[in-house]
Amino acid sequence: MEDSFLNLVAKDVLGRLTGRLKNCVVIFPNKRPIAYFLDALVQYGVPAEEVPTFYSIEDFINELATTKQVENIDLLFILYKLYLKHYPESDFDEFFGWGNLMLSDFDDIDRYLVDADKLLKNVSAVKDLEKNFMADVFMPEEFLMPLNPDDEHYLENRFRETWQIYAKTYHDLKAELKKQNLAYAGMNYREVAEKLASGAIKPGADTYIFIGFNALSKAEETIIQTLINQNKALIYWDADRYYIDNEREDSGHFIRKHASQLSGYNPQLFTDQLAKARKNIEIIGVPLHVGQAKALGIELKKHLNQANYGSTAIVLADENLLVPVLYALPEETGMLNITSGYPLQMSSLYGIFQACIHLQDNYQPGHHSFYHKDVLAILSHPIVRQTNDNGAKLLTEAIQLNQLIYISETFINGFDSALLNLFFKEISSTAQIDRWFREILAEMANQVTDLESMENKAFKNFDGIINQLAALSKSQDFELSKKTYLRLFKEKVYLSKIPLSEDHPDGIQLMGMLETRCIDFDTVFILSVNEGILPAGNKHHSYIPFDLRKSFGLPTFDEQDNLYAYYFYRLLQRSSQINLIYNSETGSGGEEKSRYIRQIEYFLPKANPNVMITHRFYSLPLKTQTAGKIIIKKEEAYFNALKAKNKTGISPSFISAYYICPLQFLFNKVMNLPEKEEVVEDLEARHFGLLFHALMERSYEGLKGEMLTKEIIEQRKARLVLDMDWVLDKIHKTQKENILQKNSLLVETVKVLAEKTLEADILHAPFKLIDMEVRADYRMPFHLPGFEQIYLKGIIDRIDEKDGITRIVDYKTGAVKSRDFNFRLPETELMKDNKEAFQTIFYGYLYHHANPGVKLQAAIMPLKEVVKGYIKINENDRPFGSNDFMVFEDKLKSILLTILAPEKPVIQAEDQNICAYCSYNNICMR
């Protein structure tokens, strides 16, 4: 952009300092504009040997200071040791939160050259200055506890006492740091400002050029003024007359103030484009936070053409949108220049560490058990799944099958798997966590083979963090608790970013708000233009009361608002196409649209008739892609998985699943992708079947082979309450009380259903009970032409006998569509409309194979229509004979051949109604 701020500054600087640039130092608020400014100088013909020295302000200060800036976590430990002198009982965890607050206050005190003694010494007088000052102070909860209810002055006294310690600690910390030749950032700012002003530091360069500053701390102001006084500084403000000349505009607050205070050689390059230039502003409301990323993808497509890639910026006011934005960008976006880096906390690998931290947090030391959700979170993690560990698969199945809520270490050890041994153990000390994390990292690293992948880069970051924490633990003369270690680990991960790419200056720029300083674009997309983000709101946490901060010239949240206003309006001043995207869904965790949107809608068109503002909304659902049909060819892996399944036997529900939806069958039965919810703690309707089966089994316990009379069944009915109690104890031992509290109605329903079933049995009595819950006894070989031996299996709920006819009983929790089993229906209709009858007849077929010649009937107890009693599925009540089962056998062959047919691909269900309840509907986008 020809008239960009940095181009204008480059031209002006060249006009003033040609031939002398080499001895100049150029200082920016951050590093990002350096490359742009260098480009501008080269473009205006500055040879490489004439190029000046560049710094960000932070680097410039650190270069002049005599002490080395130290990392915040190291500082915190130094401060903690000093603090222990006053509160020897205090532990690091308690100290952590407000130690950080203390450091932030100390930093401000020095950056703003506040007389610390004056501020900190006369604390008892503060209360007289501001009667209600206590209410203004952000106080960490840990500090306030325990309050002494008998002492009404407790809080006040504790506060005074702590202020005195606060003052001492400030001086102690500085003395300690100096002794070690270390400093926090504010300390270096103060040192450089005071030494420059006193002449103790002699500036070596001819001219210091400060470019693009807005809010200056007192130390920065002193440094610049000192250099101006020595005719050694230029300061270039980047601002527009629209907000500079208008006192009402907060965005001009700092530059108005500093430009008038800093006297001397001070060139002005203000633009007047907000009030004069042609601008197209589109304001776009989108429901939900992530919806903004999707809207961005659509809007980008409309505005992009190859010519404007380099002068287009996507600005994330909330950087948490980075990942959704990366996924939503259209293909034609091309190379991006991403300056913010990929947050380590969003890496897939962090998911494993997070799950491990939760695993330890929820560990039950008394029972040596882990919580099922934490165990499953680890086992279902994509990187862990890649290990193909058999123990992990078996453990997942066991948890789901047995509905285990807490899983004991002994139970897990029974699976004989090195992977399970690695993850599931109690970790009680910092040294153990260190070892544990290293082992996990090493094991998971084996699974990531793409060296260029984000995950591989993430491994290096995690390795670095674990090493840093190990070094930190070693350097302390007290042992870090497990809690502290994990807190520091999370803090470090939160601050780490994986560098995303090399520089692509010709690509679209994707950046945070602060990185936009000094840089101009033709087209900007700003996301999250909402209150609470732009501006951030009243979030200034400090131990120093608001009034004291004000009177000592320390920044408060008022200044923060002015800062955000400047960043926002500055971005608008030279852009011609401005797209402001905001979350229009207030009340769902989102704040309303930013005040800046209201301001520009109301005031800007009055000041500038060339501004076109449109305001539109997206409505839900917002999809970036339309769902395409998924068709998958059956390949070797499919057949291998079926072969593996066949070893334990093919069940009727396995076969039916294919006919409900072949794709769901593939995901669930072949690939074993976990469903959304594997274990339920609350007895949801779809899980009460388990309880019902168990209750029925308990009710008839000890009666196998007996003739059941009405009286016997009545007796069993009378003890249903006790039986239910026994069942709850057996199935949900650790959660029984919880279930009874939360799900008493469902428990009651199961009891009523069992009661009704027993009543139906009374009507059927007398009959002989042959067996119940017959498992895998009928693993039956089945011959399918052209295929290896197939095995069929099933669990028969109940077998009874009356008048020489054996009855197969199946309890069904779902709706039962059809009654009679119609052998003549074609296979697809049979499976669709006669699914329940097919499953029951399947059990009959298994029983017939083991007991040829037996006259068989099959009946369903439909729990949704329990009052109707048993439904016989034999046509005209006629018992099934050998001929019927031969027809069934043919049908079954044809059904199995369909599942195994390589030429028939795996497709999605035609009936989309079932998709709403499918665990994989996010994959199908249905």
Nearer to ligand SF4, 326 or 914 (CB): 914
Kindly write out the interface string for residues 614-653 of this chain, putting x where it contacts ligand SF4 by CB under 6 A and - elsewhere. ----------------------------------------
Exposure of 653 by Cβ count < 10 A (0-12 exposed, 13-18 middle, 19+ buried)?
A: middle
Nearer to ligand SF4, 474 or 629 (CB): 629
**CB 914 → ligand SF4: shortest distance, Å?**
5
Nearer to ligand SF4, 257 or 926 (CB): 926
- Per CB under 6 A, the segment of 193-201, 315-323, 784-792, 909-917 that binds ligand SF4 is 909-917
Cis amide linkage into residue 621, ω under 30° from 0? yes
**CB 918 → ligand SF4: shortest distance, Å?**
3
Residue in the structure block whose two tokens are 């057949």: 639
Which residues are CB-contacts of 583 (< 8 A; sequence separation ≥ 6)?
Answer: 285, 286, 287, 288, 289, 291, 292, 528, 530, 590, 591
Distances (CA, A) of 585 to 299, 349, 598: 19, 32, 17
DSSP 21: G
Residues 515-554 interacting with ligand SF4 (rule: CB under 6 A): none
**CB 677 → ligand SF4: shortest distance, Å?**
15
Size of interface with ligand SF4, in residues (CB under 6 A)? 12
- Per CB under 6 A, the segment of 105-113, 532-540, 848-856, 918-926 that binds ligand SF4 is 918-926
Which residues are CB-contacts of 159 (< 8 A; sequence separation ≥ 6)?
Answer: 134, 137
The full length of the chain comes to 926
Residues 664-723 interacting with ligand SF4 (rule: CB under 6 A): 664
924 near ligand SF4, judged by CB under 6 A: yes
- Per CB under 6 A, the segment of 76-84, 427-435, 661-669, 805-813 that binds ligand SF4 is 661-669
**CB 686 → ligand SF4: shortest distance, Å?**
16
**CB 399 → ligand SF4: shortest distance, Å?**
23
Please name every residue paired with 578 in a beta bridge, in sequence order, or none if there are none.
Answer: 281, 524
**CB 685 → ligand SF4: shortest distance, Å?**
19
Nearer to ligand SF4, 64 or 666 (CB): 666
909 near ligand SF4, judged by CB under 6 A: yes
The two tokens of residue 410 are 């002994």
Kindly write out the interface string for residues 359-378 of this chain, putting x where it contacts ligand SF4 by CB under 6 A and - elsewhere. --------------------
**CB 924 → ligand SF4: shortest distance, Å?**
3
Binding ligand SF4 (rule: CB under 6 A), the pick from 262, 661, 670, 780 is 661
926 near ligand SF4, judged by CB under 6 A: yes
- Residues 751 and 722: their CA atoms lie apart, in Å, by 11
- Per CB under 6 A, the segment of 127-135, 319-327, 348-356, 660-668 that binds ligand SF4 is 660-668
918 near ligand SF4, judged by CB under 6 A: yes
Residues 788-827 interacting with ligand SF4 (rule: CB under 6 A): none
Nearer to ligand SF4, 485 or 638 (CB): 638
- Among residues 364, 428, 366, 418, which one has the least CA distance to residue 395? 418
Cis amide linkage into residue 535, ω under 30° from 0? yes
345 near ligand SF4, judged by CB under 6 A: no
Contact 736, 725 (CB under 8 A): no
Nearer to ligand SF4, 579 or 908 (CB): 908
For residue 112, the one-letter residue type is: Y
- Per CB under 6 A, the segment of 484-492, 515-523, 863-871, 906-914 that binds ligand SF4 is 906-914
Runs of H (alpha helix) within 476-621? 482-495, 546-551, 557-573, 595-602, 604-607
Nearer to ligand SF4, 815 or 886 (CB): 815
Binding ligand SF4 (rule: CB under 6 A), the pick from 116, 480, 663, 871 is 663
DSSP 491: H
Nearer to ligand SF4, 659 or 920 (CB): 920
φ and ψ at 523, to 5 degrees? -120, 130
Contact 66, 191 (CB under 8 A): yes
- Residues 744 and 22: their CA atoms lie apart, in Å, by 82
The two tokens of residue 530 are 């909402």
657 near ligand SF4, judged by CB under 6 A: no
For residue 252, the one-letter residue type is: G
Nearer to ligand SF4, 57 or 899 (CB): 899
- Per CB under 6 A, the segment of 326-334, 491-499, 657-665, 715-723 that binds ligand SF4 is 657-665
Secondary structure of 243-300 as H, E, C letters: HHCCCCCHHHHHHHHHHHHCCCCCCECCECHHHHCCEEEEEEEECCCCHHHHHHHHHH
915 near ligand SF4, judged by CB under 6 A: yes
The two tokens of residue 611 are 């501004």
φ and ψ at 321, to 5 degrees? -85, 0
**CB 911 → ligand SF4: shortest distance, Å?**
8
**CB 919 → ligand SF4: shortest distance, Å?**
7
270 near ligand SF4, judged by CB under 6 A: no
- Residues 122 and 342: their CA atoms lie apart, in Å, by 46
- Say how many C-beta atoms besides its own lie within 10 A of residue 65's C-beta: 19
CA-angle at 466, arms to 432 and 98, nearest 5°? 90
List of E strands, 291-438: 312-316, 336-338, 342-343, 369-371, 406-408
**CB 817 → ligand SF4: shortest distance, Å?**
18
**CB 629 → ligand SF4: shortest distance, Å?**
9
**CB 663 → ligand SF4: shortest distance, Å?**
4
921 near ligand SF4, judged by CB under 6 A: yes
**CB 626 → ligand SF4: shortest distance, Å?**
15
Nearer to ligand SF4, 162 or 664 (CB): 664
Residue in the structure block whose two tokens are 């601008």: 279
Nearer to ligand SF4, 90 or 921 (CB): 921
DSSP 530: B
Residue in the structure block whose two tokens are 């390059």: 269
Which residues are CB-contacts of 586 (< 8 A; sequence separation ≥ 6)?
Answer: 592
Site residues (vs ligand SF4, CB under 6 A):
661, 663-664, 908-909, 914-915, 918, 920-921, 924, 926
